[in-house]
Amino acid sequence: MSTAFVPAIRNNTPIINIEDKVLKIQRGNDTLRNELIEAYQPFIKKVTSKVCSQYIDRTMDEFSVGLYAFNEAIDQYQEGQGSRFLSFADMVIRRRVIDYIRKEVRQNRLIYLQPDEEDEEGRLEDSYAEQKAAMEHYEEKIQAENRVYEIEEYQKLLKEFSLNFKVLSKHCPKHVDARENAKEIARLLVENQEMAEFLLEKKQLPIKDLLSMVSCSRKTIERNRKYIIAVSLIYLGDFKALKSYIQP
């Protein structure tokens, strides 16, 4: 006697993605916040360990910094800002851990700058010089890794607006005055919440609103549209390393 095939019964409970959970938390669901932080501790450890170039466990200060940053990411995440929550959380964790490492390096420098004693052969001074050089090298490495990471994230954000570095190189204003004017327009845009939200949601410049705030013509804004958007995204993405390229 043959046995009839019985299909597995699927759970009809709707799957809630992490972005929906984050929005629920932002509305005041603290129980869900604790559950999400607990569930994503392996993710937090992975990101933190990668930044530190060593395994980080739950007992280490760096992991606590990562936890705090993940919680911060929950509060700061905005739907439709051009990235998924985990990509955004990854960025926030990296920045906070890097800031922590830099702070530790600076504090250690202050300790070594004033040694309590020094032997006749100057061995303590040599040790200080070696440690200072090692810390400077490590900080430079962290800064370089952060720049690479920011460039990768910036490229992803540009793609949301159908832009890339090749396109921008063709549309970058050739004259210094024109570039500075475009940067000023971008700065005014990001400082206005409604215009910034319009840009992120519609993927285009709020030209009509901009014209009420600047003295240049519509033609000027439209001609430099892609460059203005690109600069605005550096500000909106809070890419600290990239800001140095656009700030005077």
Last residue of a domain, one of 160, 177, 193: 160
The answer on 169 and 141 residing in a single domain is no
Query: Residue 9 domain-assigned?
Result: no
Is the pLDDT at 118 greater than 90? The verdict is no
The answer on 231 and 125 residing in a single domain is no
Query: Residue 13 domain-assigned?
Result: no
The answer on 144 and 22 residing in a single domain is yes
The H or E element containing residue 209 is helix 207-211
Q: What is the pLDDT of residues 190-228, one digit of tens each?
A: 999 899 999 988 899 999 999 998 888 999 999 999 999
Joined tokens for residue 228: 């203005």
The answer on 155 and 114 residing in a single domain is yes
Query: Residue 8 domain-assigned?
Result: no
129 Cβ contact partners less than 8 Å away, ≥ 6 residues apart: none
pTM of the model: 0.54
Structurally, the chain folds into a number of domains equal to 2
Query: Residue 11 domain-assigned?
Result: no
The answer on 175 and 94 residing in a single domain is no
**What gap in Å lies between CA 147 and CA 242, rounded to an integer?**
7
Which has more pLDDT, 110 or 182? 182
The answer on 212 and 152 residing in a single domain is no
Could you tell me if 72 and 94 are in contact, meaning their C-beta atoms sit under 8 angstroms apart? no
**What gap in Å lies between CA 234 and CA 112, rounded to an integer?**
37
196 lies in which domain range? Answer: 165-243
Q: What is the pLDDT of residues 144-168, one digit of tens each?
A: 777 787 888 888 889 989 998 888 8
Query: Residue 7 domain-assigned?
Result: no
